[in-house]
Chains A and B, each alone.
Chain A
Amino acid sequence: MLIQWTKRLGHAAVAIAVLAASGCASTPHRTPAERQADNEIAAQVSSALRADPQIFARHIDVWAERGVVHLGGYVWTDTDLFRAKEIAGNVPGVARVVDDLQLERDGIDNSPVSR
């Protein structure tokens, strides 16, 4: 069963990669007006994240493309993953939120006893 699932996972990844390769047609360049509007939306989202009383948003990167807001960088908890998306989605003018946030998980990962 494990092997079957592993193979399925691999096949799914390859299929997605092929779809990605075929679907990544270049989009036309944004006009200066669109760029300006995107910058302003990104700034609004950043401000909203910073203004939230709970989420530590210092390491969240925000950028926008034609009203679609992208969240990158990292937060520390899964509740902040949800919260960041929710806050960004509630900012006026945001068409959609694409979330690439990651969890910060550094530090010692292993344990001092071997057996």
Chain B
Amino acid sequence: MTIRTNVLSVAVAAVAGLAITPTTSQAADEDAQIRALQQQIQELSKQVDALSREARERKEREAQTVAGTPKPPAATKEAPAESKFDKFIKGFYGTLDVSLDDTTKGLGDMTAFSWGYANPLDPTSGIVRGGQKGGPVGRTGYIAAISSNGSNVGYRATHHIADTNLDFILQVSTAIDMAAAPGLNNTWTKSSNTVTGAIGLGDTFIGFKNKDWGTLKVGTMYAPLKTATDRLNPFVGMLGNNSVMVGNTGGDNRVEFGTRLDHSIRYESPKFGNLVSFDLQYALGQNVNQNNVTIPLGSVDCAGGNAPGSGNLPLNCDDGGFGDAFSGALKFETKSFYVTAAAELHKDVNRNSDGIGSNSLQYNILFLQHSPLLDWGTFDSIVAEFPGYAAVATPAYLTDIANEKDFRVGAQYKFPFGLTVDALWEEMKRDLPAELQFQNERQRNTTWLAFTQELNGGTDTVSAGWGHAGATVGDPAGEHNYNPNFDGKNQANLYTIAWIHKLDKQLSWYIDGAMTVNDGNAHFDIGAGGHGIKTDCHDGTNTVITDFSSAGPTTWGGCRELGVSTGVNYKF
């Protein structure tokens, strides 16, 4: 307003200045021009008066508005406008988290035996115990470790598209390792082509946002199944966070559901009525094979994680590679209450490798009968080239490819006295034909309950959690000490406690402890889904077989992992 008034004043002055410098040759025309200019001056003066009046009235209205509302505190005056540089710097964010752990796998005193049917081809003939197999290999007691947990650096920005109601949004992110050099993962337990420390290992996307219609993103992102239920997990990045069981179909270190989905499209609705919102995400399978046995186009790892051959398997994506994936979540939220229902579908998940090294007695029948359910072609060709393979492996399945689903309902309530209660129930399902159900360990339920109490005005929080993994339909019997007498005994309980002390807004110190109590044939861990160093039921077996694979790591069902961890977490 002030600028416009000044401009008009200058214009008036200029016009007035011109008006008092007439020429002498055209008196009549000059009179006419002067009159015209005077009229213009009068019009401009009217406009200046109108603008001044409008400004005066606006100030009066504002004064009345302020008088009718409580006076804001002195500290809440309008902040100075954010400079472009400040806005740019603000786009950087991240978390640095390093902990010192001391954990044990709890498998030191275990023994393993061979088992079989009295009549190997007759499941009704009774189970007989054979000879004793080897015990756990390697260090089975407490192992100290320094772990980098969920550390990352990223950049986010919003760019308003001129003359529209749309914002262009972007995010690039990278996970970083604070405790070791970044690089490919090629240990004897895992092979992955993913490089930690590289841009893109994290939620990375571009998209468009409109306050009325929501947000559309394209890139690699956590699925709604995770983002809608993650707030129910107060132990993110710590030992014993709920990903040990939630979304973890097989009970190993790898979380199957609720991970990031590569090459996906995501829609996030606005919050309707300030109560309800929903998210939908679709990940294109991008696989040239119907059974998803190869790496998807554009990816460096199998869908679901890991490079072909990881875990001492043949060079295939047959340990959980999937095609298209769909994920969605419906959320309802009030001031203190949150409830969500979420689901995710993975199409045509290839788990043919679950047959390799199986200790199942029913699998043995398929083996002895040279069943067409097993991949004899591949097995025989490998044995022809590497005869030693027959001594350490068995054929993969040929048709163990099926859709997998995860459905969750969860709720969170915060009491006025600082107690937050989280509850989650999960059902996972794998649509296998009847003849393969005996080895279906991907179908079970999970229960999760957690309590968090704020202390000292929020400076400290104390959390306790309990998770229960229900029994699965079947068991591929990949555990070295698999005991058929314990069929169905593959439930597990997870117990976690944690104390977080905020040193300031950005820096906190935490200590937590976790224990997983596995039934005889269960092998859940205490580190899956975010904690850098995993503690699981694998021993140190690492017997290399030249030119093909190594016999390890051996899984010990019934292990009881226990660990404590203390670390610092800095966010910026």
Contacts and interface: CB of A to CB of B under 8 A. Distances in A.
Interface of A: 1-3, 5-6, 9-10, 12-13, 16-17, 19-20, 23-24, 32-33, 36-37, 39-40, 43-44, 46-48, 51, 53-59, 70, 74, 76-79, 81-83, 85-86, 89, 91-93, 96-100, 102-115
A47 B237 CA distance: 30
Contact of B255 (A91, A106, A111, A115): A111
Nearest to B89: A58
B561 to A, nearest CB: 13
B324 interface: no
Contacts of B534: 111-113
Contacts of A110: 254-255, 259, 305, 529
Given A54-B457, A107-B530, A112 B190 contact: yes
A51 to B, nearest CB: 6
Given A6-B343, A105-B222, A112-B187, A33 B58 contact: yes
B202 interface: yes
Interface string B309-322: 01101000001100
A92 B319 contact: no
A39 B78 contact: yes
Given A5-B341, A59-B90, A93-B70, 7 more contacts: A43-B76, A82-B336, A98-B271, A104-B93, A108-B175, A109-B260, A111-B529
B230 A44 contact: no
Q: Interface centre among A1, A23, A39, A56, by most B CB within 10 Å? A: A56
Contacts of A10: 328
B185 interface: yes
For chain B, give the interface size range: 35 or more
A9 B328 CA distance: 8
A70 B203 CA distance: 23
Q: Which 8 pairs from chain A and chain B are nearest by CB?
A: A107-B150, A111-B253, A44-B76, A106-B152, A113-B253, A114-B311, A92-B70, A107-B152
A40 B95 contact: no
A51 B538 CA distance: 49
B467 interface: no
Contact of B189 (A23, A76, A112): A112
24 contacts: A9-B341, A13-B278, A23-B272, A32-B58, A33-B62, A37-B62, A43-B78, A56-B571, A59-B93, A76-B571, A82-B414, A83-B458, A85-B335, A98-B274, A102-B227, A103-B230, A106-B94, A106-B173, A106-B203, A107-B150, A111-B253, A114-B189, A114-B305, A114-B313
A85 B154 CA distance: 25
Contacts of B103: none
Contacts of A108: 150, 175, 196, 201, 530, 532
Interface string B396-427: 00000000010100001010000010100001
Contacts of B269: 16-17, 20
Nearest to A112: B190
B305 A20 contact: no
A115 B441 CA distance: 12
Contact of A54 (B75, B255, B310, B505): B505
Contacts of B222: 105, 109
Contacts of B458: 53-54, 79, 83
Contacts of B79: 43, 46-47
B437 to A, nearest CB: 16
B69 A93 contact: yes
A6 to B, nearest CB: 5
A46 B78 CA distance: 9
Interface string B71-107: 1100111110000000000100111010000000000
A106 B414 CA distance: 25
Contacts of B185: 112
Given A54-B502, A93-B70, A115-B252, A107 B175 contact: yes
Given A107-B175, A114-B305, A78 B234 contact: yes
B259 A109 contact: yes
Contacts of A91: 72, 76
A86 B422 CA distance: 19
Given A47-B75, A47-B79, A16 B278 contact: yes
Interface string B493-537: 000000000100110000000000000000000011110101010
B51 interface: no
Contact of A55 (B333, B505, B536): B505
Given A12-B330, A54-B458, A111-B528, A106 B150 contact: yes
Nearest to A7: B343
Contacts of B266: none
Contacts of A23: 272
Interface string B427-464: 10100000000000000000000001010011101000
B272 A20 contact: yes
Contacts of B380: none
Contact of B213 (A5, A24, A54, A109): A24
A85 B69 CA distance: 21
B394 interface: no
A7 B341 CA distance: 12
Nearest to B61: A33
B343 A9 contact: yes
A88 B236 CA distance: 26
A2 B429 contact: yes
Contacts of B230: 103, 105
B135 interface: no
A79 B175 contact: no
B241 to A, nearest CB: 11
Given A9-B328, A78-B234, A113 B427 contact: no
A23 B273 CA distance: 10
Contacts of B536: 113
B306 interface: yes
B215 to A, nearest CB: 9
Contact of A79 (B93, B94, B461): B461
Contacts of B320: 114
Contacts of A104: 93, 95, 571
Contacts of B46: none
